[in-house]
Amino acid sequence: MNATGFCGLDLAHPIVNGSGTYDAIAARRAFGDALLEHFPFSAFVSKTITLKPRDGNPPPRLYETPAGMINSIGLPNKGLDGFLAEDLPQLAELPVPLIVSVMATSREEFARLVEGVGDRDEVAAIELNVSCPNVDTGCISIGTDGAETRALLERCREETDLPLLAKLSPSVADVSAIALAAAAGGAAGLVLVNTVRGMAIDRTTLRPLLGRGGGGLSGPAIKPVALHAVYHASRATGLPVIGMGGVASGQDCLEFLAAGASVIGLGTALFRDPSLPARVTAELDSLLADRGLPAVGDCVRLAHQPLSKPSPQLEGMER
CA angle centred on 23, ends 22 and 28, rounded to 5°: 125
Nearest to 45 by CA among 163, 146, 144: 163
Is 132 catalytic? The answer is yes
Q: Are strands 98-102 and 15-17 parallel, antiparallel or unpaired?
A: unpaired
Exactly one of 7, 132, 253, 299 is catalytic; name it: 132
What secondary structure, in 3-state letters, does the chain show?
CCCEEECCEEECCCEEECCCCCCHHHHHHHHCCHHHHCCCCCCEECCCECCCCECCCCCCCEEEECCEEEECCCCCECHHHHHHHHHHHHHCCCCCCEEEEECCCCHHHHHHHHHHHHCCCCCCEEEEECCCCCCCCCHHHHCCCHHHHHHHHHHHHCCCCCCEEEECCCCCCCHHHHHHHHHHHCCCEEEECCCEEECCECCCCCCECCCCCCEEEECHHHHHHHHHHHHHHHHHHCCCEEEECCCCCHHHHHHHHHHCCCEEEECHHHHHCCCHHHHHHHHHHHHHHHCCCCCHHHCCCHHHCCCCCCCHHHHHHHC
Please give the angle made by the CA atoms of 83, 86 and 87, to the nearest 5 degrees: 60
CA distance 282 to 2: 10
* Residues carrying an active site annotation: 132
